[in-house]
Amino acid sequence: MYTRRKPCVKITLHDKYVLEYHILHAHSVQSVFALVPYVSCIYFRILFHHVF
């Protein structure tokens, strides 16, 4: 189903959980790099929400 509502921009509890999990378990550089696309996705969602 597709609705024409604006997507939710708030960071969800799931986002926070995933971020905290990765930060707590970031023992290697690889896991940090794996987090980069996720963080940038959240960042751009917030950024575009404030811009538009």
pLDDT value at residue 36: 79
Tell whether 39 is covered by a domain. Answer: yes
| pLDDT tens sequence across 2-46 | 445 555 556 677 777 777 776 776 666 676 677 778 778 778 877
Domain count along the chain? 1
d(CA 11, CA 18): 11
CA-based torsion, 6, 9, 12, 15: positive or negative: positive
d(CA 28, CA 48): 31
pLDDT value at residue 25: 67
The pTM of the full predicted model, rounded to 2 decimals, is: 0.32
pLDDT value at residue 47: 77
Tell whether 24 is covered by a domain. Answer: yes
Task: Judge whether 38 and 23 are in contact, CB under 8 Å.
Answer: no
Name the residue range of residue 46's domain: 13-51
d(CA 16, CA 31): 16
pLDDT value at residue 19: 75
